[in-house]
Amino acid sequence: MAYHLSIFVENKPGKLEKVTKILAENNFNIYGIYLASAGEFGVVKILTSNLEEAYHLLRKEGFTVSKRKVTIVLLPDKPGEMHKLLTILSCNNINLEDCYGFVLEAKAQAAIVLEAEKYPLLEEVLQSKGYRFFPDEKLASQ
């Protein structure tokens, strides 16, 4: 099971940069990042190496941080694959709370990070449809 960090940040120049600076200076690799802002504040979702260490470091630096369980699904990097995935989830009454992606290899493979309330059902349904998942251990120590 994978996790990403949710970090509460002020919506001002340099605030997101402060988060990435802390991670960069401590040799954390950012695999995926997503920012949703609402007025004066925003939430940054970060998929990073050594998540547990990154979590404690950012809290020590004064950030409000939480860990959220996610599923990282591997998809072919071609048109229509995201639609197929979302159709399966919709047909199984699975609502996504968060979703973002990144390409692992151009024109070959993408990774989609999914957060859903029905987490066990999400993985069960996708596995039954033949989807593969990004190995959690790849995030643990890179």
Q: What is the pLDDT of residue 49?
A: 86
Residue 28 burial (C-beta neighbours within 10 Å; 0-12, 13-18, 19+): buried
Q: What is the pLDDT of residue 104?
A: 80
- Compute the CA torsion angle 15, 19, 22, 24 (nearest 10 deg): -120
Distances 96 to 9, 27, 100, 123 between C-alpha atoms, Å: 23, 31, 11, 12
Q: What is the pLDDT of residue 139?
A: 65
* pTM, full prediction: 0.84
Residue 66: how many other CB atoms lie within 10 Å: 13
Mean pLDDT of each 10-residue bin along the chain, 142 residues long:
90 93 95 89 91 96 94 92 96 94 82 90 95 76 50
Residue type, 84: K
Q: What is the pLDDT of residue 58?
A: 97
Residue corresponding to tokens 């699904």: 73
Q: What is the pLDDT of residue 105?
A: 77
The C-alpha atoms of residue 85 and residue 66 are separated, in whole angstroms, by: 27
The full set of domains in the chain, from first to last, is 2-69 (3.30.2130.10), 71-140 (3.30.70.260)
